[in-house]
Each structure stands twice: as structure tokens, then as C-alpha cells.
């Protein structure tokens, strides 16, 4: 493994999801310390929602074949970040039972017909090579297990949309009931989530990590 794309989505600088995603990256660095980390902080620097030019370009096969000038530039940058990464780490809160709007804006830019997926009679077929995606989720309530008290539209949605472009090796690592976690209990909850990480796909390369991007 040579590179990690690290994405955060929380608007809070010290959020549970940020701390969890950082801990996931640190865990990956234990087995692949030489990687380059590309940072995309959607919480601190939100992406714009679909512009008129981008929406128009995607509206028909004809305009997609001859896109408006500059309309696909951001999309192409974000897709290339995904393509360059050997692994992706996403830290996200659960907002109103699903993904926050900043993550949805990112998804809307990387799901692009003809570029990251093709449409077939049986549905979308991904055009990107699969790679591990580790998704750290912070939820104020409980959405899995016997104590679940709210629906979960986040994990099935991400599995569906990322799978549609070819990213199928997903691991969801939740820290739940964050509204009631503080100090040592929060640290213990993150440690428990990290135990579930499957590192069998990670290589070991002894060299220092570097950071680039935002």
C-alpha cells in the first residue's frame, strides 16, 4: 500500500468521527508506514453542490460526450484522488439517520456515468478497481445491535453507492451513543471499534509517511 485518501465530514474540529478516522489512519500506518496521505476535509472545506454546468453536462449522453468547459474539473480531481489511493478512510457523523450533506456532495461528484460506472440493463456496473474503504461512523444514538433505537440509512446507502462504482471492500467501524461518551469512555469506544479492522489486505513497507493535499 502506497497511499491513503483520508476524508473527514464533521463540521466540528474535535468530533468523535474525526478522532475515529485519525485512529484508523494511525492503525493503517502501523502496517504500512511509508504511505502518502491525501487529505480531503469536507467538514472544514465543503464542496459545492452540483452546479448548473455540471448538472447540464450530466443530463444527456450528448452533453456528457461534449461537456461544458470546466464543468467536470472538480469531479475529475476528486475521482483521481480516489483512483490514486490504495485505501480510503472516511470519518463521518450520522446526520438524521444518514450521511451528512457534505459527504453527499462528494458522492455526487465521484459517481459519474461513463467515468466511474456504466449503466446496463441490470443496473450500474463500477469502472473503478476495488480497494479497502474504512468508514468510521459516529452516531449520537444506537443503530446496531440489541439496543438499537433508530434506523440506519447510512451504511446501506454507502454500500450501494460506493459499490456501484466498484468499491466493494467496505468496513464500517461505528462508535455509537456518542451523546453519552466522554473522556475515557470515548477512548474505550474508539478502541473497541478499531479492534474490528481487518488488516490482512495491508502490506508492510518500512519508510516514513508524508502528507499532501488539503
CATH number of the domain to which 125 belongs: 3.40.50.360
N-terminal to C-terminal alpha carbon distance within the chain = 21
pLDDT given for residue 24 in this prediction: 93
Count of the separate structural domains present in the chain: 1
pLDDT given for residue 181 in this prediction: 63
Show the domain range for 155: 3-213
pLDDT given for residue 211 in this prediction: 52
Which one, of 168, 52, 62, lies nearest residue 113 by Cα?
Answer: 62
pLDDT given for residue 184 in this prediction: 67
Q: 3 - beta bridge partners?
A: 36
pLDDT given for residue 208 in this prediction: 47
pLDDT given for residue 180 in this prediction: 74
The pLDDT profile of the chain, 214 residues, written as one tens digit per residue, is 899 999 999 999 989 999 999 999 999 998 888 899 999 999 999 999 988 999 988 888 778 777 888 889 999 999 999 999 999 999 999 999 999 999 999 999 999 999 999 999 999 999 999 999 999 999 988 888 888 889 999 999 999 999 999 999 999 999 888 877 666 677 787 778 777 787 655 544 445 444 554 4
Amino acid at each position: 500500500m502506497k497511499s491513503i485518501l483520508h476524508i473527514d465530514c464533521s463540521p466540528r474540529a474535535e468530533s468523535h468521527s474525526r478522532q475515529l478516522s485519525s485512529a484508523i489512519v494511525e492503525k493503517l500506518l502501523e502496517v504500512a508506514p511509508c504511505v502518502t496521505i491525501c487529505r480531503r476535509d469536507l467538514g472544514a472545506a465543503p464542496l459545492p453542490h452540483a452546479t448548473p454546468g455540471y448538472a447540464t453536462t450530466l443530463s444527456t449522453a450528448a452533453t456528457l460526450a461534449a461537456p461544458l468547459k470546466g464543468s467536470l474539473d472538480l469531479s475529475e480531481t476528486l475521482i483521481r484522488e480516489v483512483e490514486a489511493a490504495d485505501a480510503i478512510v472516511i470519518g463521518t457523523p450520522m446526520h438524521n439517520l444518514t450521511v451528512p450533506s457534505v459527504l453527499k456532495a462528494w458522492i455526487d461528484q465521484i459517481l459519474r456515468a461513463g467515468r466511474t460506472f456504466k449503466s446496463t440493463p441490470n443496473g450500474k456496473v463500477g469502472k473503478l478497481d476495488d480497494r479497502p474503504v474504512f468508514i468510521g461512523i459516529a452516531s449520537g444514538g444506537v443503530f446496531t445491535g440489541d439496543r438499537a433505537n433508530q434506523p440506519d440509512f447510512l451504511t446501506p446507502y454507502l454500500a450501494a453507492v460506493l459499490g456501484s462504482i466498484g468499491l466493494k471492500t467496505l468496513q464500517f467501524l461505528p462508535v455509537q451513543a456518542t451523546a453519552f461518551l466522554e473522556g475515557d469512555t470515548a477512548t474505550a469506544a474508539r478502541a473497541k471499534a478499531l479492534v474490528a479492522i481487518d488488516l490482512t489486505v495491508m502490506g508492510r513497507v518500512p519508510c516514513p509517511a508524508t502528507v499532501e493535499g488539503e
